[in-house]
Amino acid sequence: MKRLWAPWRMEYIRNNKSAGCIFCLGEQHDRDSENLVLYRTSLSFVMLNRYPYSNGHLLVAPCRHISDLNGLSGEEMNDLFGLVRLATNVLGATASPQGFNIGINLGKAAGAGVEEHLHVHIVPRWHGDTNFMSVVADLRVMPENLQASYDALLPGFSAAR
């Protein structure tokens, strides 16, 4: 049997998933780095996905705990998708991806990992970013750690303030 050493996965396995909503951060601005939050408005925020599909995988969520697009006000909808555009632009300028997967999973059947708080996934993509590991082992290789991704993206978001 071959083994792949991935000690960072233990954090996910041990993580207390009943500790509350990962998107309900309130006014914890002093913990933005710890929570991987890159940018905030009064209505929405952008954060790095702690368990990404690829480097730079971002999540954009409304501050208000809501699970449905129909529950968003017009102002919240505009703010949320304004941040999706900003995040895509920052990723484009910082990481030079050749494309993006942008999506919302509404409900468990659609693949929502956190179905009670609406959020948008922005996954940067590059030609050849999947390799034999994805096909043979159903595994992704992440070439950069989260803190390095956060540090690389933060100046782009800071410039947008």
Residues 106/68, Cβ–Cβ less than 8 Å: yes
- Which of 29, 65, 117, 119 does the annotation list as catalytic? 119
**85 token code pair:** 């555009």
Q: Coil, helix or strand for 106?
A: coil
Instruction: Please tell me the distance from the alpha carbon of residue 74 to that of residue 64, in angstroms, as a whole number.
Output: 13
Is 65 catalytic? The answer is: no
Instruction: Please tell me the distance from the alpha carbon of residue 85 to that of residue 72, in angstroms, as a whole number.
Output: 18
**58-62/44-48 β-pairing:** antiparallel
Instruction: Please tell me the distance from the alpha carbon of residue 46 to that of residue 60, in angstroms, as a whole number.
Output: 5
Residues tagged active-site:
119
